[in-house]
Amino acid sequence: MAPKPPDSALSSTPQPQFRVYKRRFWGLAQLVLLNIVVSWDWLTFSSISTTTAEYFQVSESAINWLSTGYLFAFCVASPFVIWVLNKGGPKPAIITTASLLLIGNWLRYAGTKANGGIFGLTMFAQILIGLAQPFCLCAPTRYSDLWFSDKGRTSATAVASLANPLGAAIGQLVGSEWATKPSDIPNMVLYISIISSVAAIPSFFIPAAPPTPPSASSAIPRTPLRLATRQLLGTLEFWLILVPFAVYVGFFNSVSSLLNQMLSPYGASETDAGIAGAILIVVGLVTAAIMSPITDKYKHYLGSIRVLVPIVVASYIGLIFAPSSPAGIGPSYVVMALMGASSFALLPIVLEYLVEITYPFSPEIGSTICWTGGQLLGACFILIQDALKASRDADPPLNMRNALIFAAVICAVAAPFPLSLGLFGRVVTRRRLEIDRGVELSAADAGLQVNSNDGPEEEFAPDKASAAYRESGLKSV
């Protein structure tokens, strides 16, 4: 490792000037649009599961597979997503999303329209759209790292990531309004296909990367993909984030898919379920819109995590009792608001914190693994909770109380993992933020490696990294 230059040498070196570009908002807006429509496509049929089952003449459990298959498709595509984002950046991933959306939506319309409804073709198209989702859902941390400075990364990640559940809210509300009877299903899918197509087309025209880096950390070479993945999977702090992230995202997916079936045994209509799903999303978005800029300003990632995780667990415990409350649908609305507020505020904070503590690993590696875990568990939770549904002879018939108890228990078991971050003598460093503030990472602190010009792997050298970002910054001015 090269010797560290004297302070006088560093002080005489001109300091780099990095900048951000207004055009970054065009790509961010497109990422938001894609995440909205891809999530809308996912939950197209969930809030109207009974009506959809009647149209295709299949069981509600079969309709649940339209959501479950979508989540499994996410897992299949994830290795390709990491490679595309790592090697090509956000734009190829965005174009892939748009292409799969265009093909999948029109095939799905054909599946609902032809011969009075072909369930197999609809399922195939739904899986095809499911392959599109990870390319845009896993891109926000990579995009914000590429285009935004530390003053706006968390907000950018929040806007793009939380557009996904916004699409879910739209799907919950619009589905129950556009398809009030089985014969409305084809027209509903047609309208969604048109909207998705219009939203996908601008993807082919967004800029690929800024002319110059937005910050010092963006200019430093990142650890090679294979090495970064191996080291990441051997890092305890990554697992302390991955386990609860996967569990809470998985149950959010499950609740979103099964909400109508959770509420309907107690007299709630499909419209009531759609409103409950919308409350979950809208309250969450408002809370995240408040929390994300605050986090960007004060960087209190870990403190926020320790406050929000117990609230998430409390909301799942409340969901056990809310549907059966003698007060009607009101308590369910309250629980959905609490769950949405805590979950949505937590999501971008966790994603950005993961990037901070795993720097100089490229952001998409950890985020894609976490999202994949959430989608995989979401699919498993849907199947498990559907199997835990009470029989038709129960009181009330087909209630999901056991399924909700299962969710609350697993969420409680996962809670100690994130609450243990930074405890028991382990120091967690926000490495990317320190680089942006001019603090050089020591090799001992980082414990990471980088690769130079595709040559042999070498130890992470803070002097070499500092020189790299100074040189890049000087070239950009």
Read off the pLDDT of residues 356-384 as tens digits, 9 standing for 90 and up: 888 888 888 999 999 999 988 988 898 89
Q: Does the pLDDT value for residue 395 go beyond 90?
A: no
Architecture of domain 22-436: Up-down Bundle (1.20)
pLDDT band of residue 197 (cuts 50, 70, 90) is very high
Measured between alpha carbons, how far is 47 from 346 in angstroms, rounded to an integer?
25
DSSP 19-33: ---TTHHHHHHHHHH
Lowest-pLDDT choice from 45-49, 135-139, 387-391:
45-49
pLDDT in tens, 208-265: 888 888 888 777 788 888 898 999 999 999 999 999 999 999 998 888 778 888 998 9
Phi, psi of 464 (to 5 degrees): -65, -40
- Determine the pLDDT at residue 168: 75
With contact defined as beta carbons under 8 Å apart, do 225 and 83 qualify?
A: yes
How far is CA 58 from each of CA 17, 43, 51, 54, 118, rounded to the nearest angstrom? 62, 18, 10, 7, 11
Does 406 have pLDDT greater than 80? Answer: yes
* Cα distance between residue 91 and residue 119, in whole Å: 33
Residue 24 has pLDDT above 80, yes or no: yes
**What is the pLDDT at residue 301?**
87
Domain ranges for the chain: 22-436
With a cut of 50, say whether residue 463 has pLDDT above it: no
Distances, alpha carbon 199 to alpha carbons 29, 69, 112, 149, in Å: 10, 24, 21, 27
Radius of gyration, CA atoms only, the chain: 23
DSSP character at residue 44: T
Share the mean pLDDT of the chain.
83
Q: Per-residue pLDDT tens for 297-352?
A: 888 888 899 999 999 999 999 999 999 998 989 999 999 999 999 999 998 899 88
